[in-house]
Structure 1
């Protein structure tokens, strides 16, 4: 497959890029700096630019079999990074005729926002981040793409376990968690298998 990955330099993105390359896929990424991803591989292509550069975004998605956004907030990133990213990615996909989109969201977004008192508490603590996920999901759901919204609970930097549970009705509970390595594996499997079209699966250990 030819994969276009946004957010490749992040904690989940690095796992996803490496796993995709190890699986034999061609990967193209958008980076603000050429050295933003410390990985060299003959099937990895870097496009340097930002979401305000439509030409760069279009270059990333051109001829892709699937587009993956694993954007997330981190120090120095705008509070609307997920929404802003998808707002640029969607028209680029439309122009390129690419339909498959997988976007990383979070358990607690939109209709899962009142799943438990704990989720309501978490949303109050990280209100800006969750609002960004909500708005990003609304844009994706309103698009004419074959989208999947992936909703993990708390993420860890633990080792990949190679097993996880997934489903739109899954409730991970108060102790729900997932390693970023396993999250990347689920996203890659979803891209390869074409599963969860126009669905928002929750995935947890």
Structure 2
């Protein structure tokens, strides 16, 4: 497959690119600087640009079998990066005719915000980040793409365990956790299989 990945230089993004290349896929990424992703492969193409540069985003998306967004807020960064980024990505997908989209959201976004007292508390603590996820989800759901929204709970830097659960009705609870390695593996598997079309699975140990 040919994959377009946004957020490739982040903690989850790096793992996703590594796993995609190891699986034999061709990967194109958008980077602010070419050196921000310390991976090397003949199947990895770097496009240097910003999320507000339509030509750069279109170059990443062009010809992709699937677009994967693992965008997230970084310390000191814009609090609307997911919403703004997915808006630009969707515009590029429409322009290039690319259909498949897998986007990283979070458990507690949109209708799952009412699942428990714990989630309501989390949303108060990181309200801007969760509102950003809500806005992103609204744009994705309103699009004409073949989308999947992936909702993990709290993320860890642990090793891949491959024993996570995934379901549109899963409620992880206070102890819900998922390693970034497992998250990357799940998102890659969804891109490969085409599962969860127009659905928002929750993924957790």
Could you say which TM-score interval applies, normalised by the shorter chain? Answer: over 0.9
Q: TM-score, normalised by structure 1?
A: 0.99
Partner Cα separation in structure 1 for residue 76 and residue 39 of structure 2: 22
Partner Cα separation in structure 1 for residue 50 and residue 32 of structure 2: 6
The CA RMSD over aligned residues, in Å, is 0.5
* Counterpart for residue 127 of structure 1: 127
Give 1:76 shift: 2.8
Give 1:137 shift: 0.1
* Counterpart for residue 96 of structure 1: 96
The count of residues paired between Structure 1 and Structure 2 equals 205
In the alignment, structure 1 segments of 5+ residues that lack a partner are none
* Counterpart for residue 20 of structure 2: 20
* Counterpart for residue 32 of structure 1: 32
Give 1:51 shift: 1.1
Partner Cα separation in structure 2 for residue 19 and residue 203 of structure 1: 18
Q: TM-score, normalised by structure 2?
A: 0.99
* Counterpart for residue 66 of structure 2: 66
For residue 68 of structure 2, give the secondary structure of its aligned residue in structure 1: strand
In the alignment, structure 2 segments of 5+ residues that lack a partner are none
For residue 136 of structure 1, give the secondary structure of its aligned residue in structure 2: helix
Offset from partner CA, 1:30-58 (integer Å, 9 cap, x none): 00011110111110000000011100000
For residue 197 of structure 1, give the secondary structure of its aligned residue in structure 2: coil
Partner Cα separation in structure 2 for residue 157 and residue 108 of structure 1: 20
Report runs of 4+ in structure 1 exceeding 3 Å deviation. Answer: none
Give 1:125 shift: 0.2
* Counterpart for residue 165 of structure 1: 165
* Counterpart for residue 137 of structure 2: 137
Offset from partner CA, 1:151-204 (integer Å, 9 cap, x none): 000000001112210000001111000000000000000000000000000000
